[in-house]
Structure 1
Amino acid sequence: MALAIFDLDETLIGGDCASLWSEQMGRLGWVDPESFMRKNDELMAAYSAGELAMEDYMAFALEPIAGRTPEEIEHLVEPWVEDVIEPIIYSDACTIIAKHRADGDRILVISASATFLVEAIAARIGIDEVLGIDPHVINGVYSGATVGVLTYREGKITRLMEWLDAEGENLEGASFYSDSRNDLPLLKKVDYPHVVNPDAVLKVEAEQAGWPVHSWK
């Protein structure tokens, strides 16, 4: 048995769940849709260019849920996943996940999105083990801050190594699938890196390294 690790946004789904959730918060009336999405898009452009300080994005994205309970957010996220996310799940991703399961591999999603989003989306795909960015909870409500190392760039490796130690696992024979240049540190660490619908920088890196390049729909 080996690990099959998947990024989430633009890898398992044809979109970015954090941005789609930002749109949902606008529909809920928690933020001004126009100004909030303008700032969201500026930050996501920095992400795509590999220039984002993830702490900045998370402070922005979590501010609207500050003071709300995890139970309230979970109640709202579940129907949102069904309505917005399920139609953009890549069928090719589901096929590859099923193959890994048939081979006896352990499936893990590791994402630079908030854990409450990652868990709900992964569950819809049938995956129950995830690592995401953990929002801070104090006195039963979200504070708007995060806790622990953020699962972004090298932080994905840090959190994954902690998880491996806790689970008694290792990276021998592990695969990792991602679309983003931001995941190059982890792609270079596993035995079987795979790139999915890669951005321009990652595509060049993959071609030079001879990594498999997938076009998922």
Structure 2
Amino acid sequence: MTKLTLFDLDHTLLPLDSDYEWGQFMSRIGAVDPVEFKRRNAEFYEQYQAGTLDPVAYLEFAFGTLAQFPRAQLDAWHRQFMDEVIRPALKPSALDLVRRHRDAGDLVAIVTATNRFVTAPIAAEFGVEHLIAAEPEVDDAGNITGAFRGTPPYGAGKVVNLNKWLAARGQSLDGFDRSTFYSDSQNDIPLLQAVTHPVATNPNALLDAHAKARGWPILNLFND
């Protein structure tokens, strides 16, 4: 296996932000205070888009919310979330892109700043076995405690987490003949610069300008 293909998730493979939409879903079903939670959720989302997010503060907020509920209840809500929000948003163009890389025999992984609870079922929907995501601490019963483990996979933290994952497999980034990363956001420039083939995918304005200045390919998956 000589090719590594990495995907960001939100606004790259999905035409939405799964973390933000999960928060909106929790507000909609009445699991959290709709006014205060929506306010804080919107604040963090704006910070992420602007590249000013404090990932530790956000994860403490996200995991603290999840820790209020038993895992069985969270899992039931997530199944509803998949049916109502995620599956209707899946685009054939994104599914086909992932499938082509899998069929070519690439080692494929999703690398996302969004936490594993929210994203693991979404990665499975894309047929992606390997997921590098923010890791919630869980107790012996599988309940989320509110704490998080490791380095947040945000910005340069994505490179840290990728290298750790590869090392655990006895591999390294420079051991691949070709490494590709698809992302929409300037927040992912550290990992885009670390691979041999960066692809600005549905890029926001900042990444679009950065990619054009460096001659990176630009892919728009969601154009009708």
Q: Normalization by structure 2: what TM-score?
A: 0.91
Which residue does the alignment assign to 2:120? 119
Asked if structure 2 preserves the Cα contact closer than 8 Å seen for 1:122 and 1:128, the reply is yes
- For residues 121-152 of structure 1, give each alpha carbon's deviation from its aligned partner in whole angstroms, at most 9, with x where no partner exists: 01111112101101112353222121111111
Indicate if the aligned counterparts of 1:107 and 1:127 stay in contact, CA closer than 8 A. yes
Aligned to 1:12: 13
Quote the Cα distance in structure 2 between the aligned partners of 1:71 and 1:148: 25
Partner in structure 2 of residue 80 of structure 1: 81
Alignment match, 2:111: 110
Shift of 1:78: 2.3
| 1:189 and 2:194 matched | yes
SS in 2 for 1:4: strand
Q: Is 2:219 aligned against 1:214? A: yes
CA deviations 1:14-71 (Å, max 9, x no partner) are: 1011111101211332211122112111111111111110111112222222143334
Which runs of 4 or more aligned residues in structure 1 lie more than 4 Å from their structure 2 counterparts after TM superposition? none
* Residue type at the aligned position of 1:175: T
Q: Secondary structure at the match of 1:174?
A: strand
- Answer yes or no: is the 8 Å Cα contact 1:119–1:128 preserved in 2: no
How many Å separate the matches in 2 of 1:144 and 1:60? 8
Partner of 2:91 in structure 1? 90
Q: How big is the shift at 1:168?
A: 2.4
Aligned to 2:27: 26
Q: Which amino acid aligns with 1:184?
A: I
Task: Identify unmatched segments of 5+ residues in structure 2.
Answer: none
**What is the aligned partner in structure 1 of residue 154 from structure 2?**
152
Tell me what 1:99 maps to.
100
Identical residues among aligned pairs (%)? 35
Q: Give the superposed CA RMSD.
A: 1.4
> Which of 7-16 and 18-27 deviates more?
18-27
Q: TM-score, normalised by structure 1?
A: 0.94
Secondary structure at the counterpart of residue 11 of structure 1: coil
Which of 179, 186, 199 lines up with 2:184 in the alignment? Answer: 179
